[in-house]
Amino acid sequence: MAVASYISSGSGYTNGGSGYINGGSGYINGGSGYINGESGYISGDSGYYSGGSGYINVGRGYINSGSSYINGGSGYINGDSGYISGGSG
C-alpha cells in the first residue's frame, strides 16, 4: 500500500525549485562570480566563467575583459596594471 508519496515529493526531486546545476543566482558561478568575478579574472566584467552579458567572454572584451581582448584595461594576465605584463605591471 502506497502512502502519500514515494521517494521525492513536493517541490522537487534532486534539485527543484530555483534550478538544477545553475539556478537562481547560480551555484557553480553565481552572484558576483566565483571563478571569474566582478573585475574579471579570465573573462568578464561581472561574469561567471565568462559572465555578465556573454557566454565565454563578456563585459567589454573576449578573453580578458575590461577594455580589450587579451590585454585588458585592468586585466589580470596582461593589462594596464596587469600581473604577467602590462602598462605598470
Q: Taking the domains of the chain in order of start, what are their residue ranges?
A: 32-84
Check residue 25 and give its pLDDT. Answer: 45
Q: Among candidates 16, 68, 10, 76, which has minimal Cα distance to 85?
A: 76
The one-digit pLDDT tens for each residue of the chain (89 residues) are 555 554 544 544 444 444 444 444 434 444 444 444 444 444 444 444 444 443 444 444 444 444 444 444 444 554 455 455 444 44
| pTM exceeds 0.85 for this model | no
Check residue 81 and give its pLDDT. Answer: 52
Check residue 47 and give its pLDDT. Answer: 40
Give the three cell numbers for residue 18: 530555483
- Show the 3-state SS of the chain: CCCCCCCCCCCCCCCCCCCCCCCCCCCCCCCCCCCCCCCCCCCCCCCCCCCCCCCCCCCCCCCCCCCCCCEECCCCCEECCCCCECCCC
